[in-house]
Amino acid sequence: MRILILTVFLLILSSLAALAAGQVRYAPLTPELLSSGVKIIDIRTEKEWRETGVVKGALGLTFFREDKSYDADAFLAKLKRYVTPNERIAIICRTGNRSDKVSRYLVQHGFTSVTNVDGGVTRAKEAGVRLVPYPQDNASFTAVR
């Protein structure tokens, strides 16, 4: 009986520690997610924004360059100009692979409410989420350079 109580206690304690450290949530981009007040961070490249369009009101902040290199510290510094580590953010890329890596990185660096947009822009478009064109003068999309 004592072992069972100790085991349950340790499970609860480890769950609380995981919550305190933050965990990445996974969810597709839906109208409900968009209307929830979460800030959408689009980490794709400008070329990708031009090809597919962007989520209205999103923040465009490229993480990986065209050559797949990146500067994580510079990305983090730019992101912190727009959101605090306690704000609800959703990270989106084309399919969800790059955004998963970035989401995990952000949680490791103190962000507490990070959602990886499962399936990325590709799945969102398939689900009927309307993207808006990416002209440089699109006021609903902030591209950070």
The reply to whether 5 falls in a domain is no
What's the CATH code of the domain at 71?
A: 3.40.250.10
Say if strands 59-61 and 142-144 run parallel, antiparallel, or are unpaired: parallel
Number of domains the chain contains: 1
The reply to whether 2 falls in a domain is no
The reply to whether 133 falls in a domain is yes
The reply to whether 3 falls in a domain is no
Position 123 pLDDT exceeds 70? yes
Range of the domain at 44: 22-144
The reply to whether 138 falls in a domain is yes
E runs forming strands in 1-57: 24-27, 39-42
Residues 14-52 pLDDT 10s:
444 444 457 999 999 988 898 899 999 999 999 999 999
- DSSP label of 83: -
